[in-house]
Structure 1
């Protein structure tokens, strides 16, 4: 056994552990630059076979009901759900400890994890959908060592980035994954039970975030009066759910044209921000980074709207639309 693995207890069969160690050593000789993964450390500090993490797990039913006759749209929605779970590297969640792997249910309970946790959960969901799916360990730009998911479709393969929800064809030159060390396949089936997210609590959080962000914009403009255009804000509130339902695609251009038509007396400048919810600080930083508060043109008005779409297990998709309006003379 390697010196690192000797430090950790294991309930796996000793002969199998020795066989995997031999296999790992042979791979290291033949492919010294490849990441070949056979065992990992779980959050209780035990060495386990990595294949134990892969098993068909049912996604939330509301995701399956959204596109009952479109398997590809369902797969994309499931990938989006996984990408909305906040990213947190092991160096933060398990500071001072080696790379620890959470199971899918532990990941959903913690509601935070790194590339491996996102990839394992997405792979397990795809297995439940009847797809041929593998965990794909490799190197990507800019992540470096990372984990993606590979699925075999009818006549081709797709490579999925579990942290962004994006997917790429097997020959797509724009795929961030530049090399693959190994593919890892599944083991035993299981079923997950999902708790519905409290929609009233999500709506209350949505209103609180919008109020705080507006107060921040005013705080960042101490020498200027900040006027809020209620009509534009109301329009943006109605538009943000459309962005969520279209996953930010297509609807935006149609919306801008409609918005410009309704605000004919104003020059409109703004855009939507989207991110998963973990805490308030990243949302404040995102709005600040737009620099909209730096506009000091006389008679400028502002609009800011927030929409939170709740998914099961308290996964929250947050949209923020921030804009400035200047009346045409």
Structure 2
């Protein structure tokens, strides 16, 4: 890390004096001077800065009256998993913990691949970042002079980072948003707002070069004079603002090149998705969630990072996999169909994925806009300091492309007035004819297929949990699984209506299960996962470590719900629960 970067980090150590440094500060220096080429294996390094972390503000231990269990404040720790390797931090305390710790995960196969100069991937791999609450229990015994103590850990939230994003970015530094389940058995919410975030630094300790994108000329269908003028403009502003991404011409899957404005066009919503009972904002949330349920796959995997090809909406919905461009194009198409007053594609960089394409919506040019992440459906006001976008360099709509030549690029500091952006066409050109299909024949939802998939996934998860607990008898409570599926269906309904799960509503959903198990400690949560190959689903379930209890009296419950939507898009929920007699 450059010296000036370390200077910035001194703010994290306000008590440090000139004659004293914290041990962590010394480890930071040695960590950054580490040479992986002199070591037997490459490694993932994670560094958690001393910054506020808020997921535990959302949940506090649920107090069971007369349980004999002495519940203490939250004691969170961070667990990092990649492949078959898992490491963790020490335990911190309270709702705003700090760790200041370094974690290394070996990646021997990756080191060999990177040293050979190849960073392409035949399938996506993931880095799991999970937050657990470690409970220290003191229980009464028959002897009044004795107490029984034990420890357990409960998952309360986490995040998943695609390896492809880390390979291209080489490092991730800043604030990531954690996914916290809408309800947690055994916990109660203390507030219904504030995002859960974690400040960290991740890098791959290996020397390798990013792949260069293909430079061969593809067939261009635009006017030669306009292309020449565009290239001249981009050359000028690139000299003025070097290092920024200024897109204009993009290629489709046929290898044909167009101005990216031609990819922006309205598209009718799937049958049954529009509801007159929902407000415009709720409909926007609904369609953002629908688009986000289509699995993500980076072009780094599809084309080894050498090409960035755009598919149209019909192709995207046909193959049901794509990167952020495909998700953004489909989302902006639905927003245009909903007659959102102002919508634009936004190009920039995200802390979590490097180069990113989001969607901007505004009620008018003078209003505060909203930035939508099309891959996960989350949205942020442009004034939100926690927005994951770290820079904005370009915007585009149906009629023009706008380049940010301002000094500032961060969404909080950019002047969003379109008059202060450099336009590709200075005059009034009008909407460019689109290359997108104007209509799509959506396949209807297949409830029978969804039910079969849910049963198969549930059976696979139960089998794997037994395999992950060698030497222990694993019992499943089938009598509560139906109630858990009912909860999943109700959560899905609320999510698709654009509603948040409030603490009051979560309590009503969980009350039947609490009444059924009054003498049990209950730990459980629903996971919303993309409909990806079963191994990815099993990896996500394994990473939350609900199976890692050593109490032989613990029983489990697993419920899976798959809700089908048009075009074979599915919403997958997995509910995991553990019941331990007190």
The normalised TM-score by structure 1 is 0.93
SS of 2:327's equivalent in the other structure is helix
Alignment of 1:255-274 (within 5 A): 255-274=509-528
* TM-score, scaled to structure 2: 0.54
- More displaced, 77-86 or 237-246? 237-246
Work out whether 1:231 is the aligned partner of 2:479: yes
Residue by residue over 1:216-240, the C-alpha shift from the partner in whole angstroms, topping out at 9 and shown as x without a partner, is: 1112223111111122222111111
Tell me by how many angstroms 1:31 deviates.
2.1
Match of residue 328 from structure 2: 119
Distance in 2 of aligned mates of 1:177 and 1:163: 13
Distance 1:4 1:236 in 2: 50
Q: Deviations over 1:145-172 (max 9, x none)?
A: 1111001125431111111111111211
Gap regions ≥5 residues in structure 1: none
Q: What secondary structure, in the 3-state scheme, does the structure 2 residue paired with 1:323 have?
A: strand
Aligned match of 2:30: none
Mapped contact 1:134–1:184 kept (Cα < 8 A):
yes
1:202 to 433, 447, 450: 450
Task: Quote the residue 2:463 is aligned against.
Answer: 215
The 3 A distance-change label for structure 1 pair 193 and 252 is same
In structure 2, the residue matched to 1:143 is 353
Equivalent in the alignment of 1:277: 531
1:96, distance to aligned residue in structure 2 (A) = 6.1
1:90 aligns with 2:338: no
In 2 relative to 1, CA 253–282 (structure 1 residues): closer, same or farther, beyond 3 Å?
farther
What residue in structure 1 maps to residue 219 of structure 2? 9
Q: Which residue of 2 aligns with 1:168?
A: 380
Q: Assess if the C-alpha contact under 8 Å between 1:58 and 1:128 holds in 2.
A: yes
Q: Deviations over 1:61-84 (max 9, x none)?
A: 32212x534111110000001111
Q: Which residue of 1 aligns with 2:557?
A: 303
**How many pairs are equivalent?**
325
* Structure 2 Cα separation of the partners of residues 32 and 253 of structure 1: 53
Higher RCO (C-alpha 8 Å, min separation 6): 1
8 Å CA contact 1:82, 1:121 repeated in 2:
yes
Shift of 1:262: 2.7
Give the CA deviation at 1:268.
0.6
1:9–1:188 CA distance, 2 compared to 1 (3 A): closer
121-130 vs 8-17, which moves further: 8-17
How big is each residue's C-alpha offset from its partner over 1:273-322, in whole Å with a ceiling of 9 and x where there is no partner? 11120211111111111212221212211000000111111111100011
The structural deviation recorded for 1:30 is 2.3
SS of structure 1 residue aligned to 2:482? helix
What corresponds to 1:291 in structure 2?
545
Q: For residue 286 of structure 1, give the secondary structure of its aligned residue in structure 2.
A: helix
Q: Which of 261, 284, 288 is residue 79 of structure 1 equivalent to?
A: 288
Cα distance change on mapping 1:46 and 1:289 into 2, 3 Å: same
| CA distance 1:54–1:5, shift in 2 (3 Å) | farther
Q: Deviations over 1:190-230 (max 9, x none)?
A: 22221113111111111111111111111222311111112
Is 1:249 the counterpart of 2:459? The answer is: no
CA contact (8 A) 2:214 2:307 kept: no
Stretch of structure 1 that moved more, 244-253 or 179-188: 244-253
The Cα RMSD (Å) is 1.9
**Partner SS for 2:570:** strand
Alignment correspondent of 1:21: 231
Residue in structure 1 matched with residue 343 of structure 2 by the alignment: 133
Tell me how far 1:91 sits from its aligned partner: 1.8
Runs of 4+ in 1 over 6 A off after TM superposition: none
Distance 1:152 1:297, change over 3 A: same
Name the CA shift for 1:99/1:158 in 2 (closer, same or farther; >3 Å): same
Using the TM superposition, give the Cα deviation of residue 5 of structure 1 relative to its aligned residue in structure 2, in angstroms: 5.7
How far apart in 1 are the matches of 2:301 and 2:257?
Answer: 21
* 1:231 aligned counterpart, secondary structure: coil
The match for 1:104 is 313
Q: Deviations over 1:2-23 (max 9, x none)?
A: x966522222222222122112
SS at match of 2:480: helix
Compute the displacement of 1:258 (Å): 4.0
**Do the aligned partners of residues 119 and 160 (structure 1) sit closer, same or farther apart at CA in structure 2, a change above 3 Å counting?**
same
Is the aligned partner of 1:43 residue 2:253? yes
Query: In the alignment, which residue of structure 2 is the partner of 1:179?
Result: 391
SS of the equivalent of 1:182 reads strand
- SS of residue matched to 2:488: helix
Q: CA deviation at 1:59?
A: 2.1
Matched residues in 2 for 1:254 and 1:50: separation? 48
Deviations along 1:237-263, one digit per CA (max 9) or x if unpaired, are 111111111227234444234422332
